[in-house]
Every structure is written in structure tokens, then in C-alpha cells.
């Protein structure tokens, strides 16, 4: 039996390359937002106020509940946090 090899964990668990890329982008944004909250010493309540969401939403973010967040909502939160989001497009490996 030959073991499958994948470029990323997202490629392994998602059905299509498009879904895998979407998950990767959301995971990156969630990680960056969580790190930004931690680096600034914000409580979840403070972060919620600054990002224009509820405290339970911040709890979901820092707990990594990726399925609850769209790219659009994460971009809005990042911009509200004073971060700049850019997209780099390159040829797939």
C-alpha cells in the first residue's frame, strides 16, 4: 500500500485545492490575529471592542474554530485591528 503525500495538512483534509487554499489563508489570518491580540496584551473583551465583534467571537478565534470564520470576516477583523492584509499570487508548486 502506497502512502499518499500532500503539500500541506489542508491538502490532506480538504476535497479540492481551492478548499485547501481557502483553509490555509483563514488559518494564517486567524493565527496572525490571535498573535496580534496577545502581543498587544488585549483581553478578549478589549479585542472584541477593537475588532467590532463580540467576546465569544474572539474566543472562537483564539481557540482556532476555523469553520466559524470566512475570509471576508477575518479580513475585516484584521483591518479593524490596524493590520494590512495583502494577497500574493504565485505559481503553484
Each residue's pLDDT, cut to its tens digit, for the chain (93 residues) gives 666 655 655 555 656 778 888 999 999 999 999 999 999 999 999 999 999 999 999 999 999 999 999 999 999 999 999 999 998 888 876
Give the span between the Cα atoms of 86 and 88, in whole angstroms: 7
pLDDT computed for residue 2 by the predictor: 65
pLDDT computed for residue 89 by the predictor: 86
Give the span between the Cα atoms of 61 and 16, in whole angstroms: 24
CATH superfamily of 30-93: lambda repressor-like DNA-binding domains (1.10.260.40)
Per-residue b or e along 33-56, where b marks 16 or more CB atoms closer than 10 Å to that residue's CB = bbebbeeeebebeebbebbebeee
Amino acid at each position: 500500500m502506497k502512502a499518499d503525500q500532500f503539500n500541506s495538512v489542508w491538502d490532506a483534509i480538504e476535497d479540492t485545492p481551492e478548499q485547501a487554499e481557502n483553509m490555509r489563508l483563514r488559518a494564517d489570518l486567524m493565527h496572525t490575529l490571535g498573535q496580534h491580540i496577545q502581543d498587544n496584551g488585549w483581553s478578549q473583551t478589549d479585542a472584541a471592542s477593537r475588532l467590532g465583534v463580540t467576546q465569544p467571537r474572539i474566543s472562537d478565534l483564539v481557540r482556532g474554530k476555523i469553520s466559524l470564520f470566512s475570509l471576508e470576516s477575518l479580513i475585516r477583523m484584521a483591518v479593524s485591528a490596524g493590520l494590512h492584509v495583502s494577497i500574493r499570487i504565485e505559481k503553484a508548486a
